[in-house]
Amino acid sequence: MLRGILADFRSWGQFTTLITVDERIPEVPLPADQVIRIRHNQHQDMVAGLIAESNAALIIAPENDGILFSLSVLVEKTGVLLLGSDSDGVMVAGDKWECYRYFIEAEVPIPQTWRVNSNRAAKIAEKAGFPLVVKPIDGAGCDGVGLATDLPSLDHAISADVFKEKDFLLQRYLEGRHYSVSMLVSGKASVPLSLNEQFLRIGPQFTYHGGCIVPGHSEFRRAIAAAKRAISLIHGLKGYVGVDMVLSEGKWYVIEINPRITTSYVGLRSVININLAKALWQACTKNKLPRNVRLTERKSFSKEDFIGI
């Protein structure tokens, strides 16, 4: 994914790019003007200095453990332009329980959800009824997400390190097809880029295998309407935003909001009629969104296109 973003900035040709890469990652060619390899224990200080010398910063990071939030705050403190959601938007969107409360109050369809800890999980689960999805409050992707069909499988799921000494969520499992909506957001306005089917393996541990950009989907308008409604509730979202959804029994349910560039970027960039780097820049700097967005074809992409570089 990083390679695709850098290629789009290079194709646009308006800026030089500098990126940081953890030195533990093997060296691979990247279309950046400068690549700086950093020791993981020196990351925060070095990145802060590099950001301060830049005109803008684009963060590629997960919500886990507040990583995306803390890096967003770091950029904001330098006064440098942030090419993405501000820290307030990241804080809310990155907290699945907080989002659930927003959506319930606004009557946005979302599976019934309970905030629990390891001591209360079994009691709540028995009362709610199985099957239930177990998930971290601030996870990204399928990290820590699993399906509990009974008490033994629930006990197994919550024994993972990600749930120890932390609250987590139980969510009603919905049979259906999994999708995401890729949006470009600018202030109070937004434009849909694509509807993407997600390829998930549902089980004790959910696994994500990629997806497919689906132009001309018969449910496109209804999916987009639900996604737009959801993101309109979260102040501070900007730039590339993903909305995970499930189509179950003819109804669209919002699952979560990803206040960042998502895996769909790797497929989308090759079939869309705009340069996504340019569109991202204009959305974040000029509150300008592209018009007449078109997709040329279906495009599948895999998890391997995202992992690492």
Same domain, 40 and 9: yes
Distances (CA, A) of 253 to 9, 184, 249, 263: 34, 20, 10, 20
Q: How confident is the model at residue 304 (pLDDT cuts 50, 70, 90)?
A: low
Closest CA to 84 of 220, 211, 265, 218: 265
Distances (CA, A) of 145 to 133, 185, 260: 7, 27, 19
Q: What is the mean pLDDT of residues 47-71?
A: 92
Closest CA to 210 of 263, 131, 273, 156: 263
Distances (CA, A) of 35 to 48, 250, 259: 16, 47, 25
CATH number for 184? 3.30.470.20
Overall domain count for the chain: 3
C-alpha 285/C-alpha 298 separation (Å) is 30
C-alpha 60/C-alpha 1 separation (Å) is 9
pTM of the shown model: 0.94
C-alpha 262/C-alpha 242 separation (Å) is 6
Least confident range of 2-11, 161-170, 238-247, 289-298: 161-170
Q: What is the mean pLDDT of residues 169-198?
A: 96
CATH number for 36? 3.40.50
Same domain, 154 and 246: no
Residue 192 has pLDDT above 70, yes or no: yes
User: Across all residues in the chain, what is the average pLDDT?
Assistant: 93
Residue 240 has pLDDT above 60, yes or no: yes
Same domain, 121 and 132: yes
Same domain, 20 and 120: no
Same domain, 127 and 100: no
- Is residue 20 within 8 A of residue 39, CB to CB? The reply is no
Same domain, 17 and 49: yes
pLDDT at position 305, please?
58
% of the chain beyond a pLDDT of 90:
81
Residue 272 has pLDDT above 80, yes or no: yes
Same domain, 66 and 134: no
C-alpha 33/C-alpha 15 separation (Å) is 9
CATH number for 146? 3.30.1490.20
Residue 184 CA, distance from chain mean position: 13
Same domain, 164 and 293: no
Same domain, 56 and 162: no
Q: How confident is the model at residue 159 (pLDDT cuts 50, 70, 90)?
A: confident
Same domain, 183 and 63: no
Same domain, 14 and 145: no
C-alpha 109/C-alpha 94 separation (Å) is 18
Residues in the chain: 309
User: Which of 152, 172, 192 is where one domain is finished?
Assistant: 172
Nearest 10 degrees: Cα torsion 155, 160, 166, 170: -50
User: Which of 172, 191, 218 is where one domain is finished?
Assistant: 172
User: Which of 124, 152, 172 is where one domain is finished?
Assistant: 172
Same domain, 238 and 101: yes
Range of the domain at 192: 91-106+175-305
The strand ranges marked E within 113-216 are 113-116, 132-136, 146-148, 168-172, 177-186, 189-201, 207-213
Closest CA to 253 of 278, 216, 277, 219: 219
